[in-house]
A and B are shown apart, each in its own frame.
Chain A
Amino acid sequence: GQSLEQPSEVTAVEGAIVQINCTYQTSGFYGLSWYQQHDGGAPTFLSYNALDGLEETGRFSSFLSRSDSYGYLLLQELQMKDSASYFCAVREISGNTGKLIFGQGTTLQVKP
């Protein structure tokens, strides 16, 4: 079957570092994406990994290990505005016709 597993909730304090893990089992794999969604808003694209390794974009980094079917999103120097839901998603088909399969989302709460 197709499934993505990520923790349901994570809590951290301002200034800290938090890692949100995602393991996947899908019929095809062409990349792992991460999205941020604030309450009442739409998902915002954060990062994409098609190859093994670390991708860094400012305070956010994303890692992929295809052999382990595993990836993570790393958020550094946490800010209150980072409190949101974070979704990992696997693209199953190449090109722009590929569906995304979403995880259930991780709610991150950043405390002062």
Chain B
Amino acid sequence: GAVVSQHPSRVICKSGTSVKIECRSLDFQATTMFWYRQFPKQSLMLMATSNEGSKATYEQGVEKDKFLINHASLTLSTLTVTSAHPEDSSFYICSASDTRTQYFGPGTRLLVL
């Protein structure tokens, strides 16, 4: 399977600050990447589809101004959580897709104090 990296793996920030998470596909070019969030003991919830060179497609109920996604190259997508609040604390996971399925990065655990 494909290798996807994510950075940082863990971040703690103060309420009101912004946090940027990077997602890289290491061994193939990904025109499409996906961003998920997961709460404890729950399933993955798709937040948005990141498209290289164009705007991201957000799922219903996800604030696009709060969760900024940029897919500047075929190997890098970034998710910026703007003006983070404690309720944004979660596990954020990206994935890159080939023609069969998606391969996930190791995830970023965000804690907003």
Which A residues have a C-beta under 8 Å from some C-beta of B?
31, 33, 35, 41-45, 48, 50, 87, 89, 91, 94-100, 102-105
Contact = CB atoms under 8 A, between A and B. Distances in A.
B67 to A, nearest CB: 17
Contacts of B101: 31, 33, 45, 48, 89, 91, 100
B100 A95 contact: no
Interface of B: 1, 30-32, 34, 42-44, 46, 49, 51, 93, 97-107
Given A96-B30, A97-B32, A103 B43 contact: yes
Contacts of B93: 42-43
A104 B100 contact: no
A44 B31 contact: no
A24 B107 CA distance: 27
Contacts of A100: 34, 46, 101-102
Contacts of A99: 34, 46, 49
Contacts of A95: 99
Most chain A CB within a 10 A radius of its CB, from B1, B43, B103, B105: B43
A44 B44 CA distance: 13
Contacts of B103: 45
20 contacts: A31-B100, A41-B107, A42-B105, A42-B106, A42-B107, A43-B104, A45-B101, A45-B102, A50-B100, A89-B101, A95-B99, A96-B99, A97-B32, A97-B49, A97-B51, A99-B46, A99-B49, A100-B34, A102-B44, A103-B43
Main secondary structure of the interface of A (DSSP, over half): mixed
Nearest to A95: B99
Nearest to A97: B32
A41 to B, nearest CB: 7
Nearest to A100: B102
Contacts of A94: 99
